[in-house]
Structure 1
């Protein structure tokens, strides 16, 4: 079934996120894929766009790793909940390194075609992340 194939590709995509493998990027991401990134007006595009997203995260958290906690698939869509963990060792969104560790959830929605991701709407808990590194006060 299509949704099982997409779920398997989602598991491989998690490996890609954790390794930043250009080979996996080319296999799993369509050249015209669109990644809607919170806080950015224009979406990122294709394998290079997602590698840039990973590069931005690793710039602030060089050891960042994502764990796929759960997913639901229907037709050409997959909803996935991740937990990102890492250490704030580099500047992130203008905030200098604090050496604090983070654990942040993300809820992302993907659309597949031909076994490749063609669209993502990502929703990481940026407020929680910024609070954990002390960039935003907690309530």
Structure 2
């Protein structure tokens, strides 16, 4: 169990930065629901599949948390992610381009695990970088 909701959020970014999706087993509730740009990802297993797919597309993904605000059972982060497009993503074949993504994520942490996540990021900006 983690000491603070902030440390759980930080561990979530370690999944990407250290390319260790197995850490999700420790930090996602079984009943996890992720709300990602208007699409729901229900269950820890589905979330892990989505994240593994992202890491296959951007194996060197690195998140830098620019701001982190905690209130009760919620943590809000504003982040920048960089990576190299090495695998298929959203139907787009690898381009080998370096990209930068920006976004905001809200975590709800219950009993030391992420119960819900709301993630909004600039998909349009990413797609423009990949097509350019």
Question: What TM-score bracket applies, with the shorter chain setting the length?
Answer: 0.7 to 0.9
- Structure 2: how far apart are the matches of 1:45 and 1:55? 15
Q: Offset of 1:26 from its aligned partner?
A: 1.9
- Structure 2: how far apart are the matches of 1:93 and 1:59? 12
Q: Offset of 1:61 from its aligned partner?
A: 1.8
Counterpart of 2:26?
27
Gaps of 5+ in 1: none
Gaps of 5+ in 2: none
Which residues in structure 2 correspond to 1:26-65 (within 5 Å)? Answer: 26-38=25-37, 40=39, 43-65=40-62
- Structure 2: how far apart are the matches of 1:20 and 1:46? 18
Q: Offset of 1:28 from its aligned partner?
A: 0.9
Q: Offset of 1:69 from its aligned partner?
A: 2.0
Normalized against structure 1, the TM-score is what?
0.83
Correspondent of 1:109 among 100, 106, 110 = 106
How many residue pairs are counted as aligned between the two chains? Answer: 129
- Structure 1: how far apart are the matches of 2:45 and 2:68? 25
Normalized against structure 2, the TM-score is what?
0.87
Indicate the RMSD between aligned Cα atoms, in angstroms: 1.8
Counterpart of 2:83?
86
Correspondent of 2:129 among 114, 128, 132 = 132
Q: Mean alpha-carbon deviation: is it higher for 57-66 or for 28-37?
A: 57-66
Moved >3 Å (runs of 4+)? none
Which residues in structure 2 correspond to 1:65-84 (within 5 Å)? Answer: 65-84=62-81
